[in-house]
Amino acid sequence: MTRRLEPSFYRGLYAITHEVALFTPEMLCEQVLAAIQGGAKIIQYRHKDVSATRREQQASALLACCRQQAVPLIINDDVALASAIGADGVHLGRDDMNLQTAREQLGKQAIIGTSCYNSIDLAIAAQQAGADYVAFGRFFASTTKPQAIEADTALLTLAKERVNLPIVAIGGITPDNGAALIDAGADMLAAIHGVFAQREIGAAAQQYTRLFNQKV
């Protein structure tokens, strides 16, 4: 595990890998490197529909790529996988391992983020439990989770007032609609299809990165 990140690090694009079963580890690495070159600050590995062996192969390859670029790799949901490969951290949802247990297994230096959907109470509880960041959303129509709980920009503004952690916005976010979320209080914008489903991944990542540069 790398050291936990300073709060000031959490500003920019949080890129989450596209779930395509046919991707080899080499293909995933190529895509992730393009996203990093486009400005992605954090990479999350998310793949629920492949075997445990293939997940470990893919995640291990991505970790090596990310380490070369000094960018943290977060594993979605799977604390055991994060521990096995020595990833930088894990992102937890409502139905995953609780945060305290994950911290015990991964150590003090692990980055642990948690999904808070549209709930300030969940975010406050996550902060009290030792989370490193909280994520809200979905904010717009999402192809990955079309039935996900909806959130709005007022939630981000309230979270900025009541939660002293970096705030990640997720769900249908594009370079065209992301600026309003940053204005409302999002420190990072998470994207899957907006980055990895695009023909030019690096250029797509740059479009998100520019939103933050414009706000400096």
The catalytic residue among 4, 11, 46, 54 is 46
Give the up-direction half-sphere exposure of residue 17: CA atoms within 13 A in the CB hemisphere: 31
Structure tokens at 127: 């902060």
Q: Which candidate, 27, 109, 97, places its Cα nearest to that of 62?
A: 27
Count Cα atoms within 13 angstroms, Cβ side, for 180: 10
With residues binned 3-state (H G I as helix, E B as strand, rest as coil), the percentages for the chain, rounded to 5, are 45, 15, 40
Per the listing, tokens 């439990």 go with: 129
Is residue 138 helix, strand or coil? coil
- Selecting among 3, 94, 108, 145, the annotated active-site residue is 145
**From 115, 119, 138, 142, active-site residue:** 115
Tokens of 55: 């997940």
Q: Is 46 a catalytic residue?
A: yes
Q: DSSP 3-state assignment of 97?
A: coil
Annotated catalytic, 145? yes
- Between CA 119 and CA 47 the distance in angstroms is 25
What residues are annotated to the active site?
46, 115, 145
